[in-house]
Amino acid sequence: MIQHHKKNDFIEQAIIEAGDRCNDVAQIKTDLAEAFEKLKLPMPKDGEFHNGVGNLGVVFMNQAGCVLRLVLESEFPLLRHLNVMRPIGSIRIGETARLDVQYAGLCPAISEDTQKVQSIFAEAGIEDEDITSPNLCYADIKNTMFPNGIPVQFDVWELKTLNQSVRNISALFDKGSRILDLSPTSNETPDEQDTAYQDLREGFKRIFDIEQSVKELIVYPEAVDNFWKSMKKAKHSDRLKTSWLDGEMTAKFKEIPEASRAYDAHLREHNPIFV
């Protein structure tokens, strides 16, 4: 259940949500503030974000057609599977957390597609106790099995796998850069998620001097602007879809569109690209 908090800004509430599940609170605060600043985004205030079970905070960006999801790395693994959300980009926050820039698609999935994904996960050895239609959105890609679009699970709290062929991208997270490489390895074949959003992922990676972004994020300001412009263009062309504004989820979680519009107003004041 998504709950709306009324007293704290995004950082303060994230620390409360983390509780005793992390021991790097000070670094999370520093890194989170830095990430928003370098991405030229205002820190969400009270009423501009939401929290769900397990995650530390969610920000809905209407004009960019994406969701910023702050999670604890150990509880939200990034499994390389066609039906598991592979974000546009991910930034390490402290030693234990991760900020994902998730693409947005139509949500929820129809029950038939949800059942298909459940079967696919079971066959692949992926354990998931929370795979429901509201936790699946449609990526902007279709195939014969999924003519409505490929459903991907975007809320992957405690997703587990015993199948070594399903790579845990997060397992490499303690090595090197704070920017997580979401691209396929040399022995992996690019799948539909790779090809559908490759341009946006490349735009995200161009923001950073990846080799140098270890302790401090080193960014190219012009690349930041270009990335958000490309996300806006993808939203405008309907590649990215804000179901929280005009879909079934609006009726189910009425506070989500309110928070997204409040953050959008804040964003318009902060960054001229979003005016």
- Tens digit of pLDDT per residue, the chain (275 long)? 344 444 679 999 999 888 888 888 899 999 999 999 999 999 999 999 988 777 899 999 999 999 999 999 888 888 899 999 999 999 999 988 999 999 999 888 999 999 999 999 999 888 877 777 788 999 998 999 999 999 999 988 767 886 777 888 877 655 667 898 888 988 899 999 999 999 999 999 999 987 777 788 999 999 999 999 999 999 999 999 998 997 666 556 778 999 999 999 999 999 999 99
- How high is the pLDDT of residue 258? 93
| Cα torsion angle, 109, 111, 116, 117, sign | positive
Residue 150 lies in a domain: no
* 57-84: burial string, b at 16+ Cβ within 10 Å, e else: bbbbbbbbbbbbbbbbbebbbbbbbbbb
The residues that bridge with 136 in the sheet, in sequence order, are 153
Side by side, the strands of the sheet bearing 57-61 are 57-61, 66-72, 97-103, 89-93
CB 173 within 8 A of CB 95: no
Residue 38 lies in a domain: yes
The tally of domains found in the chain comes to 1
Residue 176 CB burial class (10 angstroms; 0-12, 13-18, ≥19): middle
Distance CA 36, CA 170 (A): 22
**C-alpha pair distances (Å), 68 with each of 97, 115, 143, 175, 217:** 13, 27, 27, 23, 17
Residue 74 lies in a domain: yes
The dihedrals phi and psi of 165, each to the nearest 5 degrees, come to -80, -15
For 54, the enclosing helix (H) or strand (E) is none
Residue 109 lies in a domain: no
What ranges make up the beta strands (E) of the chain?
Answer: 57-61, 66-72, 89-93, 97-103, 126-127, 136-138, 151-153, 160-161
Residue 263 lies in a domain: yes
- For residue 198, give both structure tokens: 């490759």
Q: What is the DSSP letter of 227?
A: H
Distance CA 145, CA 182 (A): 25
Residue 81 lies in a domain: yes
Residue 203 lies in a domain: yes
Residue 31 lies in a domain: yes
State if pTM tops 0.85: yes
- How high is the pLDDT of residue 199? 96
Segments forming the whole domain that contains residue 24:
10-103+164-191+198-274
